[in-house]
Amino acid sequence: MEKLQEDQKASLERSSRYKVCQDPTPFANKTGCMSCSENSANLFDMTELKCIGCRDNETYNSRSYRCESTMLLNNFNAGKFINLPDSLDNLLKSQKTQTDSSPRYKVCDEQTPYVTKDGCTSCKDAGAPLFDFSTSKCAACTEKSIYNSRSSRCEVIVMLTNLTANKIVDLTDSMESLEKEQQAKLDSSPRYKVCSDPTPYYNGSECIACTDKSKPLFSFKHGKCGNCRRNTWYDKQARRCLKERTFEFVTDLQSKNLILNDTIRNLQRLQDDILKLRPTARVCPPEQPYSNGP
């Protein structure tokens, strides 16, 4: 264009017979000045001296003064992609370099954000709501995986034991630390799911319940149902089996042959308070219903 402008300037300086066409008819053909106002032919071909238009698969580049093949680009901000070749940030930076270099690069709109051989499309089918970048086809995660929009990947679902469930023993750390660790996992990825009732425990392969009366407890450390050893008791508050010698026993007020120093009602209230305030307190078993302790 600079060379053409120089040649035109030289012609105008050399002779007054040369005139520059003006708006609204800025283009010169063999017979005079003309305009190219039709949408389908809004460009002027300097070689053929006639109005033309870019083809349907082309875009006009005002910097190169050419019709260039249109290159469609995926809309990374609108779509749900898997199998990306690079991080989303790097792909967006590379895409911006392309769109800044030429108008031939066009990003698909939000309604049809994915590029296929047929143009921009969407993945509206509920059975395949994702777009596989490596195959340029709509896809879906497997049954045992879930889509993570932050990593743009299908990730295998990992189940976690519900720490609020009753009858958990053999903790590998304090309950507070385990809860913090579990919450950190839940915040990091949607792949982490907590088991729910009626199967709140995770044994390494599936969520389960401990319904066997002989094994009513769940070992967090070993991932299986079990029970306390003989002569030990499960302490729900401590989440562990305690040895018998650690308990404070109180007399079973329902047993026979008691000599009372107060009304049964007052004694029952006192006993209820003891059991509530002292996690290690237990009512004596039926075969030995009397306590000789304080």
Nearest to 119 by CA among 100, 99, 136: 136
Say yes or no to pLDDT of 279 above 70. no
Q: What band does 187 get if pLDDT is binned at 50, 70 and 90?
A: very high
Q: 196 or 274: whose pLDDT is higher?
A: 196
DSSP letters, 70-89, are -EEE--TTTS-EES-SS-HH
Q: Is the dihedral of CA 206, 207, 212, 215 positive or negative?
A: positive
Q: What is the 3 state secondary structure string of 157-206?
A: CEEECCCCCCCEECCCCCHHHHHHHHHHHHHHCCCEEECCCCCCEECCCC
- Least confident among 18-27, 113-122, 127-136, 269-278: 269-278
Say yes or no to pLDDT of 253 above 80. no
**pLDDT at site 136:** 94
Q: Where are the domains positioned within the chain?
A: 20-68, 71-155, 158-244, 247-294
- Least confident among 61-70, 245-254, 285-294: 245-254
Q: 115 or 6: whose pLDDT is higher?
A: 115
Cβ contact 98:70 at 8 Å:
no
Q: What band does 128 get if pLDDT is binned at 50, 70 and 90?
A: very high
What CA–CA distance (Å, rounded) separates 127 from 247?
A: 58
**pLDDT at site 205:** 94
Hey, which residues does 146 pair with through a beta bridge? 155
- Expressed in angstroms, the distance from the first to the final Cα of the chain is 106
CB < 8 Å & 24+ apart, contacts of 192-197:
192/157, 192/158, 192/160, 193/157, 193/158, 193/159, 193/160, 194/159, 194/160, 194/161, 194/162, 195/159, 195/160, 195/161, 195/162, 196/162, 197/162, 197/165
Nearest to 83 by CA among 29, 148, 39: 148
Say yes or no to pLDDT of 245 above 80. no
Q: 290 or 67: whose pLDDT is higher?
A: 67
Per-residue pLDDT, averaged over 172-201, amounts to: 96
Averaged pLDDT of the chain: 88
